[in-house]
Chain A
Amino acid sequence: AQSVTQLDSHVSVSEGTPVLLRCNYSSSYSPSLFWYVQHPNKGLQLLLKYTSAATLVKGINGFEAEFKKSETSFHLTKPSAHMSDAAEYFCVVMNFGNEKLTFGTGTRLTIIP
């Protein structure tokens, strides 16, 4: 079985400060992990994915995530928040050999001007 826990349902940061969105996962096998972003009234867009190559993964718009197997975590970070980063973010896990993805419940990121 696989599961994903996003530890914060809502995160607020000031523009120009760092962003940290936390994700823990549970998986029986070596998982693939993804972060998706959803802007209002839009579908989900892939930010980045981990596929057992490098543990530090760089994505679009300056985001990156680090896979830590010992902590079963895949936290999303960005050094400096921009107003356009305000959106909902989803952490997703997929097990090898299983095409079904399991989504976290989402973290809404608010950027304070």
Chain B
Amino acid sequence: NAGVTQTPKFQVLKTGQSMTLQCAQDMNHNSMYWYRQDPGMGLRLIYYSASEGTTDKGEVPNGYNVSRLNKREFSLRLESAAPSQTSVYFCASSDLSYNSPLHFGNGTRLTVT
């Protein structure tokens, strides 16, 4: 049981380059999330998708776009990377019932130079 799978694990970009972070879950969960983790700031929600076909902004959406491709997959795109987007990105999923916990991937460490 793979759970939540994120690719790539590491990425280095130059300012202005674009890239897409991929996330897939095999638990048949309705909700999927993208977070970024920065030292001393905990996790901050970028975007989330409560169900296939819907996406909503979180706390820090600027500079990002998302696509809920199907129930399994939720991708995060950086159109023009900036050094401020250097961070560790986590994808998570849950079954949306109240109190259901999040299941996290192992993260993507992104550096923008």
Enumerate chain A interface residues (CB-CB to B < 8 A).
9, 32, 34, 36, 41-46, 49, 51, 90, 94, 96, 99-101, 103-106
CA distance A51 to B40 in the complex (A): 27
Secondary structure class of chain B's binding surface, majority of residues: loop
Write the nearest CB–CB distance from A97 to chain B, whole angstroms: 8
Enumerate chain B interface residues (CB-CB to A < 8 A).
4, 31, 40-45, 48, 50, 58, 90, 92, 94, 96, 98-99, 101-102, 104-107
List of A residues within 8 angstroms of B105 by Cβ: 43
- Contact indicator B42/A43 (Cβ below 8 Å): no
List of B residues within 8 angstroms of A9 by Cβ: 40
Contact of B90 (CB < 8 Å), options: A44, A49, A101, A106: A44
List of A residues within 8 angstroms of B58 by Cβ: 100
CA distance A103 to B43 in the complex (A): 6
- Contact indicator A43/B48 (Cβ below 8 Å): no
Query: Are A90 and B98 CB-contacts (below 8 A) given A41-B106, A43-B4, A43-B107?
Result: no
